[in-house]
Amino acid sequence: MLHLRWREGFRDATATAAAAGLAFFLAQEIFGHPRPVFAAIAAIICLAPGLPNHVRQAAGLMAGVAIGIVVGEIALTIPDIVPLARMLGAAFFSILIASLFGVPPVVPIQAGVSAVLVLAIGSDTAGFVRLADVAIGASVGLLFSQVLMTPDPLVGINTAAQKLLRDLAGGLRGCAEALRTDDEEDAKAALHELSVAHADLVMLGTGIQAARSDARWSVRGRLAAVTVQELAARYSRHAIRLYASSLLFAEALANALRKGAGPPPEALRERVLQIAERCEALAERGSFGPQESMQGLPPLTGITPEDPLWRPALARLALMEEALAAFGRDPRDSV
């Protein structure tokens, strides 16, 4: 998790710094402003990490700055009898006006800040000159967020799904080892390994949310919107089911060994290894489309345990096979 956050943070920080520098340069070249710091600040605000919608952020920034500047300019016409009272009044009314429209938080924040800046450092620096710089910064922010640095929404989903499948395969191989050694401790270790995959499930859910947001609010995302929705539907529908059924199987296996069940059917261990291989195969493909799911595997009804204590494990394994088949199937095939 930490290395993924580091990678995403590095990407966002690089894009934001580059956008700030470009906005600063363009404001100097286009408007001749010697130190257009507000252009760089606006680009940073528009590209803030974790925003679900950079377009709304940019539009809200422009609206808030415009409201604040207008209110600040009006406040400058009021006699400066009590400077602090005039500044507080300008901030109050600019925030109030910006809040009336049910807009994102950036709008009233920027409205209040802009009104205060106009009264504190003057309209020559913080007035419409600042609005021009902010327009440059917001435009550069949109360029980066919509075109240049937009991540591929499919990559995030597939990466998380691949890790989930690989970790489940590792846990299943641990279950197969427990069946070979007939050791309850090995079964408990495999159960723990599978339970740790919950972090992968959470990551997959986060990736699906991010991909759906990108598909709605970015140019690159819109181009892949149909594929994103279909892939997200498949994974969100069946990932929890696959994870839960794997835990149930490992728990049933540990219970059977703890209760002193007789020797497990040899075919059961082979079947667990086959399912682990299918998980790894699906992880290797890692792309959208129909997958080979459970074709070629004989039905579990052909495995008959001598000890009835193994029947719950077989039933749970059948559930996992069904979940894996659905997880690896094109969602359009299930309609």
Tally of CA atoms within 13 A in the half-sphere of 276 that contains its CB: 20
* Helix 225-258 vs helix 198-217: crossing angle, to nearest 10: 170
Q: Which amino acid is residue 45, in one-letter code?
A: I
**Domain range annotation of the chain:** 12-148, 153-330
What value does the mean pLDDT take over residues 248-275?
91
Q: Band of the pLDDT at 217, cuts 50, 70, 90?
A: low
Whether 33 has a pLDDT exceeding 70, the answer reads yes
Q: Band of the pLDDT at 166, cuts 50, 70, 90?
A: very high
What value does the mean pLDDT take over residues 273-288?
80
Whether 292 has a pLDDT exceeding 50, the answer reads no
Candidates 245, 243, 269, 254; CA nearest to 319 is: 245
Q: Band of the pLDDT at 51, cuts 50, 70, 90?
A: confident
Burial 304-330 (b: 16+ CB within 10 A, else e): ebeeebbebbbebbbbbbbbbbbbbbe
What value does the mean pLDDT take over residues 36-58?
86
Whether 331 has a pLDDT exceeding 50, the answer reads no
pLDDT of residue 1: 54
Whether 294 has a pLDDT exceeding 60, the answer reads no
**From the centroid of its chain, how far is CA 17?**
22
Candidates 301, 296, 327; CA nearest to 315 is: 301
Report the Cα–Cα distance between both ends of the chain, in Å, rounded. 34
Please state the pTM of the whole predicted model. Answer: 0.63
Indicate the burial class of 229 (C-beta count within 10 angstroms; 0-12, 13-18, 19 or more).
middle
What DSSP character marks residue 331? G
Cα–Cα–Cα angle for 217, 219, 225, rounded to 5 degrees: 75
Class of domain 153-330: mainly alpha
Q: Which residue has the higher pLDDT, 263 or 5?
A: 263
Whether 36 has a pLDDT exceeding 80, the answer reads yes
Highest mean pLDDT among 40-49, 152-161, 184-193, 273-282: 184-193
Q: Band of the pLDDT at 334, cuts 50, 70, 90?
A: very low
Q: Which residues contact 125 (CB under 8 A, 6 or more apart)?
A: 117
